[in-house]
A and B are shown apart, each in its own frame.
Chain A
Amino acid sequence: MNAKGIVFKYGDNVDTDVIIPARYLNSSDPAELAAHCMEDIDKEFIKKVKKGDIIVADKNFGCGSSREHAPIAIKAAGVSCVIAETFARIFYRNAINIGLPIIECPEASRGIEAGDQVEVDFDSGVITNVTKGTSFQGQAFPEFMQRIIASEGLINYINNNQ
């Protein structure tokens, strides 16, 4: 499995309130949530994002509320992977559980800029910055997490293992 796309870059502590503001949480429809993804910090995001694009951020991405609507909105917007220096723990679980690949790699978050083209190999954890010709070793997913992502989420994974 791998991901390839253009990077949207953000800083520290991107919280779930800015990923998807609570005023839109009266809906749980992925497409509707995606339409407002990141709008409180980056109004251009949803206009520019294309299928396969990648979000790269600094520390503590996804902090705050446990709303699963946050990774759902990011995934439904077409994002194929989120790379960050660190993730808030509930967001981390939620992303894996809904099948949105995320990867921790401080070096990559420092060595990638907005607009770079980046490729991620989930099996090895290697992140390649195609634009700059550099590569970084991210944390590879444990096997059971890869299986959850490959099953498109925890529920299908549990069904497959029953």
Chain B
Amino acid sequence: MTQKILAAAAGLDQVQAGQLIEANLDLVLGNDITSPVAIKEMEKFRTQGVFDKDKIALVPDHFVPNKDIKSAEHCKCVREFARRNQITNYFEVGEMGIEHALLPEKGLTVAGDVIIGADSHTCTYGALGAFSTGVGSTDMAAGMATGKAWFKVPAALKFVLTGKPGKWVSGKDVILHIIGMIGVDGALYKSMEFTGDGIANLSMDDRFTIANMAIEAGGKNGIFPVDDLAVEYMKEHSGRSFRIFEADPDAVYDAVYTIDLSSLRPTVAFPHLPENTHTMDEIKTMEPILIDQTVIGSCTNGRLDDLRCAAEVLKGRHVAKGMRCIVIPATQAIYMQAMEEGLLKTFIEAGAIVSTPTCGPCLGGYMGILAEGERCVSTTNRNFVGRMGHTSSEIYLASPAVAAASAVTGRISSPEEL
């Protein structure tokens, strides 16, 4: 499927794994950390200006609202660049959200697109049947200037999802299970293609979560077939036309994995790699793992389904004494909808705090930094050494349901235990 999209974008009939191609881009994305470096690189170009002011998205989301003077200077640099080049899709504080939740919601990413973003979780849009992948700032600069990027066509891994997940099993548990199975470099340089009748049992938000973490298995991209649900989503959010590609029945894969979703259990990745996974059933047999903080949000799990699930767990309950529970709706629209559904009231009554959209705590920027030796259950995507703060702090990656349940008990817990 990925190879077909890349062939079309390169103007070729077909491509093969390993082939170097130059593809036309439908969207180039950057944030407040990566864009300033790209903008500085762009100044070196002999020709100035951007290839298409409508096909660039600039989303300050990591350290906004500005956490300090230096990050304010970075945001100013991005803002002025956007103004100078009349970038249509620049999102200021007040209209921004976490980029990978925001762009699909704004209808900027649709099936068949080729998208690069100077953020590793750009692979999220594969949930809609787009080829999208993370790059660095220089690639972003070259993309903004020329509308093109070079790619090495990836080989593919096939994940056949069957069955229906249980009540407290979400997209996060699916992708953590997969990363636990193949490892953090299990899909290195490759495309992760999801297929199978189990996909019909996954919401769009579940699919965004799964595609989002393809990078945590080393994948170049993650991609889903475009079914009725995906078409409905795109029609609701976008006026753009889209192009549906399907994998050939005789497509070649480096490996095929079959996963029965009904057999999966809530899953947690222990420090300091996303591949260190344990199911909640295993964790129940261990010594209790006491925690200090929970974070529910991020480009991985800050969408409406995630907040609804966390609220269902927290409704009528209270976070444990001494626990900090930080809830971060990923976009303004999600924030508004959560307010209308009464979810924010549930969080606040439960003793959680609700923040404006930001990537902040996920990468140890601000809004929830961990002290020496502290432990956090987080719905984010990485649990590397020092990722959320002190190098001796520990991050346990989990679903919103497990994070919310853990906030109530003060130790890593499944909602089934409440």
Contacts and interface: CB of A to CB of B under 8 A. Distances in A.
B385 A59 contact: no
Contacts of B68: 26
B46 A13 contact: no
B365 A158 contact: no
B137 to A, nearest CB: 4
Given A69-B37, A93-B135, A155-B45, A63 B185 contact: yes
Given A23-B364, A89-B189, A66 B385 contact: no
Contact of B142 (A64, A68, A142, A158): A158
B81 to A, nearest CB: 13
A26 B47 CA distance: 28
B396 interface: no
A88 B20 CA distance: 18
Interface string A24-55: 01111000000000001100000000000000
Contacts of A60: 184-185, 188, 218
A68 B34 contact: yes
A89 B364 contact: no
Given A21-B386, A22-B365, A90-B120, A63 B135 contact: no
Contacts of A153: 41, 138
Contacts of B138: 68, 94, 97-98, 153-155
Nearest to B40: A28
A152 B387 CA distance: 31
A39 to B, nearest CB: 9
B167 interface: no
A156 B142 CA distance: 11
B33 A40 contact: no
B397 to A, nearest CB: 13
Interface in B68-121: 68, 70-71, 74, 117-120
A116 interface: no
A66 B184 contact: no
B120 A162 contact: no
Contacts of B137: 68, 94
Interface string B21-51: 0000000000001101100111011110000
Contacts of A27: 70
Most B Cβ at <10 Å: residue of A26, A72, A86: A26
B253 to A, nearest CB: 18
Interface residues of A, number: 40
B391 A40 contact: yes
B185 A26 contact: no
Given A21-B364, A65-B120, A88-B185, A93 B386 contact: no
Most A Cβ at <10 Å: residue of B67, B185, B273: B185
B185 A13 contact: yes
B245 interface: no
Given A22-B365, A26-B71, A66-B135, A155 B185 contact: no
A147 interface: no
Given A13-B184, A65-B120, A158-B45, A28 B382 contact: no
A106 to B, nearest CB: 13
Interface string B149-191: 0000000000000000000000000000000000011001100
A64 B382 contact: yes
A95 B141 CA distance: 15
A17 interface: yes
A72 B37 CA distance: 10
A67 B34 contact: yes
A155 B363 CA distance: 29
Given A25-B365, A26-B63, 16 more contacts: A17-B387, A25-B63, A26-B67, A26-B74, A28-B36, A63-B184, A65-B363, A66-B118, A68-B136, A89-B218, A89-B220, A93-B136, A97-B136, A97-B138, A97-B139, A154-B139
22 contacts: A17-B364, A17-B387, A22-B364, A23-B365, A25-B63, A26-B67, A26-B70, A26-B71, A28-B36, A41-B385, A63-B218, A64-B384, A65-B120, A66-B118, A66-B120, A66-B122, A68-B136, A72-B37, A97-B139, A155-B41, A155-B42, A155-B142
**Nearest 7 A-B pairs (CB), nearest first?**
A94-B136, A26-B70, A68-B136, A97-B138, A60-B185, A22-B363, A66-B120
